C-alpha cells in the first residue's frame, strides 16, 4: 500500500509517544537525512523506512537493548543520549561509547542475525526511533539502488568504528 504524498502527511505522527509531543513525518525525515547511514537516500526511500519505524521515549536509566538479546531492529537517537556498554551492571562494566542525537545503534542486527553485542542505556530522557529489519527488506524489494546506498553507508560506518577501536586498542598496548 503506497503512502499519500508527503505534503498530505505533514502532520501525521510516527509510531507512538509517551513523554513528549510526537514528531511529525517531516521532522523525522529531516532527522534521518542528517544521520550518516541515511546520507544520499531519496525522500521516497526514507518515507518507506518510516512505515516500519516506531518512536519511543525512554526515561533516564532505562535499558533500551541488552547484550545477548536477539533482535531485528536498529535505532536512531532523536533526542537525549545513551551509553553503549559491555558487561552491563557488572563491576567490570566497560562503557564503549556515548551516543547522542542523530547517532544510531543496533545496525549490526540488520547486517547479521547474531544476538546484541552490547547493552544500551539512556543517560537522560531520550527519544529513539526503532527501525525494523522489515524496513530494509522492503527497501531492497522496492528500491534496490537505494538499498545498496544504505548497505554501503552501513559498511562505511562499521569500518569507521572498527578503525577507531583499532586506534584505541593500539594506544593501550
5 DSSP assignment: P
Tell me what pLDDT residue 31 has. Answer: 86
Alpha carbon distance 40, 29 (integer Å): 13
CA distance 69 to 90: 17
* Distance from C-alpha of 133 to C-alpha of 113, rounded to nearest angstrom: 10
Write down the pLDDT at residue 169: 80
Q: Where are the beta strands (DSSP E) in the chain?
A: 53-58, 63-65, 73-79, 82-86, 94-99, 104-105, 119-122, 126-132
List, in order of start, the domains of the chain with CATH numbers: 9-163 (2.60.120.10)
Residue 1: what pLDDT?
Answer: 42
Model pTM? 0.80
Question: Quick one: pLDDT at residue 90?
Answer: 93
pLDDT in 10s for each residue of the chain, 173 residues: 444 444 454 444 444 333 344 567 888 888 889 899 999 999 999 999 999 999 999 999 999 999 999 988 999 999 999 999 999 989 999 998 999 999 999 988 888 888 899 999 999 999 999 999 999 999 999 999 999 999 999 999 889 888 988 888 888 87
User: Looking at residue 22, what is its pLDDT?
Assistant: 53
Q: What is the pLDDT of residue 23?
A: 64
Amino acid at each position: 500500500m503506497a503512502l499519500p504524498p508527503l505534503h498530505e502527511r505533514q502532520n501525521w505522527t510516527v509510531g507512538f509517544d509517551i513523554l513528549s509531543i510526537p514528531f511529525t513525518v517531516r521532522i523525522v525525515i529531516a532527522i534521518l537525512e542528517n544521520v550518516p547511514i541515511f546520507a544520499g537516500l531519496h525522500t521516497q526511500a526514507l518515507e518507506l523506512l518510516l512505515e516500519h519505524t516506531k518512536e519511543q521515549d525512554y526515561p533516564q536509566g532505562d535499558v533500551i537493548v541488552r547484550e545477548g538479546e536477539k533482535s531485528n531492529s536498529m535505532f536512531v537517537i532523536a533526542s537525549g543520549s545513551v551509553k553503549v556498554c559491555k558487561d552491563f551492571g557488572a563491576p567490570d562494566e566497560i562503557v564503549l561509547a556515548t551516543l547522542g542525537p542523530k547517532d544510531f545503534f543496533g545496525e549490526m542486527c540488520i547486517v547479521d542475525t547474531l544476538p546484541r553485542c552490547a547493552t544500551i542505556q539512556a543517560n537522560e530522557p531520550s527519544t529513539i526511533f526503532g527501525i525494523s529489519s522489515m524496513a530494509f527488506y522492503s527497501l531492497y524489494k522496492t528500491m534496490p539502488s537505494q538499498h545498496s546506498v544504505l548497505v554501503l553507508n552501513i559498511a562505511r560506518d562499521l569500518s569507521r568504528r572498527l578503525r577507531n577501536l583499532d586506534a584505541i586498542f593500539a594506544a593501550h598496548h
